[in-house]
Structure 1
Amino acid sequence: MFKPGMCRQWKEVADQESFWRERCRREGYHPHGASKVPSDWRLFYFLCKKRRNLLKNPRGEDTLRGWTLTQNNGDRWTVDEPMVPHPNEAVQKNFVTSYGMCLKEQTVDLKHEGYSPSFMDEFQPPIRISDWYAPRWDCGSEYTISVQLLDERKNVVQEFHPDIVYFPQWNDQQWCQMTHVFQNYGPGVRYVRFSHGGKDTQFWAGWYGIRVTDSCVEVCPALDS
């Protein structure tokens, strides 16, 4: 049974920066860059512990909930099972596009997710995004992605917008991964806008366009990103 004195002693230990700094060291949580020493090691520790995917419904397991459909043409977005197994066995659903352009997006509110403005401005932690996409083997298709870091007024601070990826008809329909890490983006980032999609290139009725799933946005305060 704990005595009041013991509780006070434990609180004194838990309030010490050295306690949390050592805990970070033991669990392998190291800041990015030697010059960015955390001013609050306890905060840094908990941010590392709660690192997670900030996108809702990234695999279509909850149909299209959580996503804003910015373009929904042709026979529109739908959700289906993968045509070939995904590298991650847990992925059992994917979003499917049609013969008209289909785009969907989510905007992540970093403060709402627990990343305070002061933390984002001081550490500018790497923000890692990834997305998986695959064509159908019997139809040509295209895939596009755009991810933006936004300030308080939702002006663009930094953007990742690679060239459109095209697939020919009669391909191997294997899954491909798109990844990018935002770094050194400066102070002011408050939101992340994630947008992706595509279509088929042969104008076939139905759902022959690009397939996407297992999308991810995560803040990586530690070196293991």
Structure 2
Amino acid sequence: METKEANPRESEHMWAQLQTHCVQEVWEEILLNLPAEQVVRVCRLVCHQWREIADSESFWKERCRREGYRLREVTRIPRDWRLFYFLCIWRRNLIKNPRGEEDLNQWQILENGGNEWAIHGLRTQHPDKTVQKNFVTSYGMCRKSQLIDLKKEGYSPSFMDHLQPDIKISDWYSPRTDCGCQYEICVELLNQRMCPVQTFAPDTIYFEQWNNERWHEMTHVFQNYGPGVRYIRFTHGGQDTQFWAGWYGIHLTDSCVEICPAVCT
């Protein structure tokens, strides 16, 4: 059988391609092990090859895989994997002043009954030992609210509509042991016209006098809420049920609203 001799030029070309591919893999591995912000702000400016890697979908998809950011719905593929990755690592509490460390700033007071809202130190230790303050209600209904503008927080309409990430809310509440009280919460996903798309509003929770005065956590995850969500309105409050002057009502702290592009953990 006649053997065809290899063309030296073809061999050189194949070898050059192999070397380029190997170098590309090495560079990609280096960039995968650097902080993501450094890759975007510094590394992609170094040369054309690094910019191509830093701008590629496969690079950010691989970072998501390695760091455990999994899609909740495999049919909802991010249109921009880099944006998806950064919104995952920038997951944060969208409630401002959740623990009363800035008095009542950032909150809209809807009802201010009795001796009105107050900020006190904790009577009993919170599960999170960094929490040192709480909002306290009085003998008339006290209710306050925050409105979260998702676009201003970095979540574009197209991102919210296409991916529909989980929206996780939580709120900590505690009664006083010596006085009965009640607790209420309502969280609404709103569209551009401020009309509710989906609402979480559990029944009012009542505590009898001489309870154990421990902290309780209210949690909920909004899923599959459809397109159109542009705002989140978080409202909570309560009062004491024995109408004692002072601040014997429900205690509230560490409220939280998080957008979770990847599977909630």
* Same-fold call, TM cutoff 0.5: yes
Kindly state the Cα deviation for residue 5 of structure 1 after the two structures are TM-superposed: 9.3
Residues 43-77 of structure 1 show CA distances to partners (whole Å, capped at 9, x for unaligned) of 10011011000000000001100000000010000
Distance of aligned partners of 1:14 and 1:57 in 2 relative to their CA distance in 1, 3 Å threshold = same
Equivalents in 1 of 2:46, 2:214: separation in Å?
59
**What aligned pairs does 1:128-167 form with structure 2 within 5 A after superposition?**
128-167=168-207
Aligned pairs, number = 224
**TM-score for the superposition, normalised by structure 2:** 0.83
Q: Which of 31, 37, 51 is residue 71 of structure 2 equivalent to?
A: 31
Equivalents in 2 of 1:158, 1:108: separation in Å?
15
**TM-score for the superposition, normalised by structure 1:** 0.97
- Is 2:254 the counterpart of 1:214? yes
Corresponding residue number in structure 2 for 1:199:
239
Amino acid at match of 1:7: C
Corresponding residue number in structure 1 for 2:99:
59
- Provide runs of 4+ in structure 1 moved above 2 Å: 2-6
RMSD after superposition: 1.5
Sequence identity (%) = 62
Equivalents in 1 of 2:107, 2:148: separation in Å?
11
Kindly state the Cα deviation for residue 113 of structure 1 after the two structures are TM-superposed: 0.1
**What aligned pairs does 1:97-116 form with structure 2 within 5 A after superposition?**
97-116=137-156
Q: Which range is displaced more, 160-169 or 2-11?
A: 2-11
Kindly state the Cα deviation for residue 38 of structure 1 after the two structures are TM-superposed: 1.2
Larger % of helix: which? 2
Corresponding residue number in structure 2 for 1:70:
110
Equivalents in 1 of 2:79, 2:261: separation in Å?
13
Equivalents in 2 of 1:165, 1:80: separation in Å?
22
Kindly state the Cα deviation for residue 34 of structure 1 after the two structures are TM-superposed: 1.3
Equivalents in 2 of 1:5, 1:87: separation in Å?
45
Q: Which range is displaced more, 25-34 or 62-71?
A: 25-34
Equivalents in 2 of 1:108, 1:19: separation in Å?
32
Kindly state the Cα deviation for residue 130 of structure 1 after the two structures are TM-superposed: 0.2
Larger Rg: 2
Kindly state the Cα deviation for residue 7 of structure 1 after the two structures are TM-superposed: 1.7
Equivalents in 2 of 1:11, 1:130: separation in Å?
40
Q: Which runs of 5+ in 1 are unaligned?
A: none
Kindly state the Cα deviation for residue 224 of structure 1 after the two structures are TM-superposed: 3.4
Is contact 2:43–2:51 with CA below 8 Å preserved after alignment?
no
Residues 104-123 of structure 1 show CA distances to partners (whole Å, capped at 9, x for unaligned) of 00000000000000000001
Is contact 2:45–2:51 with CA below 8 Å preserved after alignment?
no
Distance of aligned partners of 1:5 and 1:105 in 2 relative to their CA distance in 1, 3 Å threshold = closer
Distance of aligned partners of 1:35 and 1:5 in 2 relative to their CA distance in 1, 3 Å threshold = closer
- Is 2:122 the counterpart of 1:82? yes
Amino acid at match of 2:49: Q
Corresponding residue number in structure 2 for 1:9:
49
Amino acid at match of 1:144: E
Q: Which of 164, 178, 184 is residue 224 of structure 2 equivalent to?
A: 184
Kindly state the Cα deviation for residue 223 of structure 1 after the two structures are TM-superposed: 1.1
Equivalents in 1 of 2:169, 2:95: separation in Å?
10
Amino acid at match of 1:100: G
Equivalents in 1 of 2:173, 2:45: separation in Å?
58
- Is 2:109 the counterpart of 1:47? no
Equivalents in 2 of 1:66, 1:32: separation in Å?
32
